[in-house]
A and B are shown apart, each in its own frame.
Chain A
Amino acid sequence: MVHRTCPSIRQPFVNKNLSIAGMFLFLGLLTLWVPLPAAARSPQDRFIRVEASSFAYEPGVITVQKGARVTLELHSRDVVHGLFIDGYGLETRAAPGESNRLTFIADRSGIFWIRCSVTCGALHPFMLGKLKVIEPGFALRPLALTVVLASAVLLLPLSTLAQQHKSIKRDK
C-alpha cells in the first residue's frame, strides 16, 4: 500500500487555481499579441542611421510606427558587424567605410531584438539592440499587461486564501 503524503483534498483547490491562473496567463499574452486598430494617418518614411560598434548599436532602441517604410543605414565603427532583425528575419552587414542599407515595411508590430550576424569579437552573441514597431496606443500594452499581472497576483492568492481553511493541515 502506498502511503500518500499529499492529501487528495488539495486537488480541487489546485484545479480551481490552475484555471484562474490559466485565464490570467491567457489574458496576459493577449495584451502583448492582440493587434490594436490600425493607424489612421498615412505610413511614414523613416531613415535611421545605425552605428554598430563592439558590442552595441547606436541607437540601441529604434522605435517606428507600424506600416512605416523603414530604411536602416548600418555603419560600423570598428570591425565588420551585421544586423539581423528577429521576427522579420532580415539581415545586412557593414564594414567601416562600407555602409549598407536595409529597407522594409514595418508591417508587424511588437518588440524585436536586433542581433549582430557577423562574429565581431568575444561578446558577439550578446550584441543586441531593439526594434519597436508601435501603433497608436502602444503604451496600452505594457499598461494592460501590468494590470493583468497585478490582478492575477491579487486575485489568485485571494482564491488560495479563501480555500485554504478547508484543506487538511500539511505534514510537519
Chain B
Amino acid sequence: MRLERSEALARWLFILVLVGVPAGLFFATWQARQRGILVQAAMPENGGWSPEVLEAQVGVPLHIRLTSLDVLHGFAVGGIDAPHVEIEPGKISETTLVFHQPGRYVFYCTRWCGPNHWRMRGVIEVWGDSNPMPEVKPLYLQLGLDIDAVHRTEIVPIVTPSAAHGAALAAKLTIPEKYMLKETYLTHSPEQMWRSIRGESWAASLSAQDVWDLVAFMFFIQTSAQNLEQGEALYAANCAACHGERGDGRGDMSAYFAGGDRADADDAEHPLGHEATPPSNFTDREHMLAASPALLQGKIVRGGMGTGMPYWGPIFTDEQIWAIVAYLYTFQFDYGGLINE
C-alpha cells in the first residue's frame, strides 16, 4: 500500500508541475495585462510600435507600459512637455500621460534604433470637449518660401565671423532698431542681412569681414546660452546621426547614404532617400549663409526635399525648432567670448 501511496503522490506532483507551471505563467501574464496597455517597441524593420494607435480622453490619465522587443528605444510624445522614457529590451517602463487638449498627437522613438529610427512613430487620438490645439501655419508658408529650392550665396566671409567682434563694433556704431528685431532675424538669411547692412551709410567704413561679424552678432542676440544648449542637445539626439556631430553632413549614419557602404543594404520597403542627396553640410558656407531661420524651420518641419530628411513638425514644439535653428548657425558663426563656455 505504501508503494501505491508513493506512486499516487508522485503522479500528483507530476501533474502539478505539468499543468501548474504553464498555468501559473499564463495567469501571471494575463494579470499583468490588466495593469495598462502594453506598447511594444521594435525597430521599424521588425514592426515598429505595436499598437501604433492609442486613444485617450482629455483630462483622463493614460497609463502606458512600454517594452522593447529588440534594442534600446525611447518614448516621447510630440508637442507636449513630458519627459522621455527609456525603453530597455526585455524590461518594462511605465509612464502616465495627461492631455489637456483634444487632437492627434504623435508619439515617437527617442533613441536611435537603426536607419529607419525616425519613421518609428505612432498616433494618440485624444477626444474631449476642451478647445482643440490651434493650427498655426509655419513661418515659411506664411512667407511663401520655397524650401525645395537650391539656396547658395556667392558672398562668403574670409574667416569664421566672430560675434564678439561684432559686439565690439556694434557698441561703437548706431545701428537701426530693425536689425535687432526678431522678425528681421527670422526672415533674413545671413547673406541678406549682410547685403542690407552693406548698403547702409553707417556701415560704409566697415570691411566685408566686419559686416559679417556684425551679422554674427545680430544672429547671436536672438538666442541665449540656454537656448543654444537646448538646441545643441536636440541636435545631438536627433540630427547628429545623419548631419554629423560637427555638422559636416557625414554623421554616423552616413554609411546608409549615397556613397556609403551600407547604401545598398537598406531594404526596398524603407528607402532612405539615399539615391541622390546626402545630408546637408552645415559647415558649407555657400549653402548655410543663404538660408534664413524661417527656411531652416520649414525644412525641419516638413522634411522631404527629395532627400531622406524626416519631417519633424509633429514632433518638436516651435520653441524646440527655433532652438535647433539657432544652434545650426553656430556651425557658421563663432559665438565664443559672448557665452560662458
Contacts and interface: CB of A to CB of B under 8 A. Distances in A.
Contact of B72 (A53, A77, A80, A97): A80
Contacts of B252: 51, 75-77, 96-97, 99
A56 interface: no
Contact of B241 (A53, A95, A122): A95
A48 interface: no
A77 B255 contact: yes
7 contacts: A77-B262, A80-B72, A95-B237, A96-B117, A96-B240, A119-B71, A119-B90
Contact of A76 (B112, B236, B244, B262): B112
A120 B71 contact: yes
Contacts of A119: 71-72, 88-90
B323 interface: no
Nearest to A76: B252
B115 interface: yes
Interface extent on B, as a size class?
20 to 34
Contacts of B111: 79-80, 95
Nearest to B262: A77
B245 interface: yes
A98 interface: yes
B112 A97 contact: yes
Given A79-B114, A97-B112, 9 more contacts: A76-B112, A77-B255, A78-B113, A95-B111, A97-B239, A97-B242, A98-B240, A119-B90, A120-B71
A96 B251 contact: yes
A78 B240 contact: no
B70 interface: yes
A57 B88 CA distance: 22
Nearest to A96: B241
B112 A96 contact: yes
Contacts of B237: 95, 97-98
B114 A78 contact: yes
A68 interface: no
A95 B72 CA distance: 10
A59 interface: no
B310 to A, nearest CB: 13
B64 interface: no
Interface string B79-115: 0000000001110000000000000000000011111
A95 B115 CA distance: 12
Interface in A17-70: 51, 53
Interface of B: 43, 70-72, 88-90, 111-115, 117, 236-245, 251-253, 255, 262
The 7 tightest CB contacts between A and B, nearest first, are A97-B240, A97-B241, A96-B241, A96-B252, A119-B89, A96-B112, A79-B71
Contacts of A99: 245, 252
B88 A79 contact: no
A121 interface: yes
Contact of A121 (B71, B240, B242, B243): B71
Nearest to B115: A78
A97 B251 CA distance: 6
A70 to B, nearest CB: 21
Given A96-B241, A97-B240, A98-B237, A121 B112 contact: no
Nearest to A122: B70
A118 interface: yes
A53, A77, A99, A120: residue with the most chain B Cβ atoms closer than 10 Å: A77
A120 B72 CA distance: 7
Interface string A75-97: 11111100000000000000111
B71 A80 contact: yes
A97 B245 contact: yes
Contacts of B238: 97
| Most B CB within 10 A of own CB, among A76, A80, A96 | A96
Contacts of B262: 77
A98 B115 contact: no
Contacts of B243: 97
A99 B113 CA distance: 15
Contacts of B88: 119
A96 B279 CA distance: 14
A121 B43 CA distance: 10
Contacts of A96: 112, 117, 240-241, 251-253
B302 to A, nearest CB: 21
A77 B252 CA distance: 5
A151 to B, nearest CB: 46
A118 B112 CA distance: 13
